[in-house]
Amino acid sequence: MDRLKGKVAIVTGSTSGIGVGIAKLFAAEGAKVVICGRRQEKGQAVVDEIVSAGGEAFYHFMDITVIESIDQLMADTVEKYGKIDILVNNAANVGLKDGRVDELTLEMWDAVFQSDVRGTFYATKCVLPYMTKDEQGGSIINIGSMASCGGDLGSTAYACAKAGVDMLTQSTALQYGKQNVRCNCVRPGLIVTPQNAAYVPQALKDIFLSNICVNRYGCPEDIGHMCVYLASDESAYVTGQIVNVDGGLNSHVSTVAQFKELNSRTW
């Protein structure tokens, strides 16, 4: 369990959900993990759990919409550990029901873009000087969304913002790869977490399960395992990639579920 031994990792939005799953697996693989978000009590609980399991972590306040808190996070991490090897841009405003184009206000649009694109961009911008200094290098992992894979009936701002994260990933990989900085994006499918399990309608679960290639929904650890690989030296030749971790949801044509209901392979 030493795939990340000696590495320092920041996981934004790691006080709940997917971020917790990533942080715990990083710590189990030997990384020193910075837990950050707005909720100190929940963040400290994650730290305590990691430490009790033999790992190393500390909590740092961060609001992805407040650039000063991002600056402070990076500076304090380097002051404590001397470097930053891994940044996971996980913090975001999940606006899956933000609406159609005609329903969205500019305020709604701006709020989603501020956290999901602006925040991810600024955290990346802030960590680059530390990773490129003396070509130390590092791995930046952006958490995207399957919402960016195609048009949908709603969640317009969220989907557009996550599509921006896809392109930010590729631009960062291209521009800083020669300085030993890799950047990849993980697109989760339907991830059921302890926090959202009670709020995901059964009808939605049924729709997804009928289209997923495997026999279950995703969990935070599914995303965490992919992030461990992308953070480790095992993926040294992997950069600029947008990886779907969605149980195969986006690997087939969109009519498969309906043909299954008809017990037919084709029309």
Domain residue limits, the chain: 8-199+217-251
Q: Which tens digit of pLDDT belongs to each residue from 12-22?
A: 999 999 999 99
* pLDDT exceeds 70 at position 138: yes
3-state secondary structure 167-188: HHHHHHHHHHHHHCEEEEEEEE
Q: Note the pLDDT of residue 164.
A: 97
Mean per-residue pLDDT for 126-151? 94
Higher pLDDT, residue 154 or 117 = 117
What is the value of pTM for the model shown? 0.94
CATH class of 8-199+217-251: alpha beta
pLDDT tens-digit series, residues 156-197:
999 999 999 999 999 999 999 999 999 999 999 999 887 788
The rounded distance, in Å, linking the Cα atoms of 138 and 183 is: 9
- Give the chain's count of helices (H) and strands (E): 9, 7
pLDDT tens-digit series, residues 63-76: 999 999 999 999 99
Confidence of residue 93 (pLDDT cuts 50, 70, 90): confident
Q: Which one is predicted more confidently, 97 or 58?
A: 58
d(CA 128, CA 148): 25
The answer to whether residue 158 is catalytic is: yes
Tens-digit pLDDT profile for residues 205-239: 888 888 899 999 899 999 999 999 999 999 999 99
**Residue labelled with tokens 């003396």:** 134
Among residues 59, 122, 158, 176, which one is catalytic? 158
| Residue 39 pLDDT | 92
Q: How far apart are CA 258 and CA 220, in angstroms?
A: 28
Residue 95: what pLDDT? 59
Note whether 90 and 13 are within 8 A (CB).
yes
- When pLDDT is averaged across residues 18-42 and rounded to a whole number, the result is 96
Q: Which helix (H) or strand (E) holds 74?
A: helix 67-81
In the numeric block, the tokens 């995303």 are attached to: 223
Across the range 49-65, mean pLDDT stands at: 96
Give me the percent of the chain exceeding a pLDDT of 70: 98
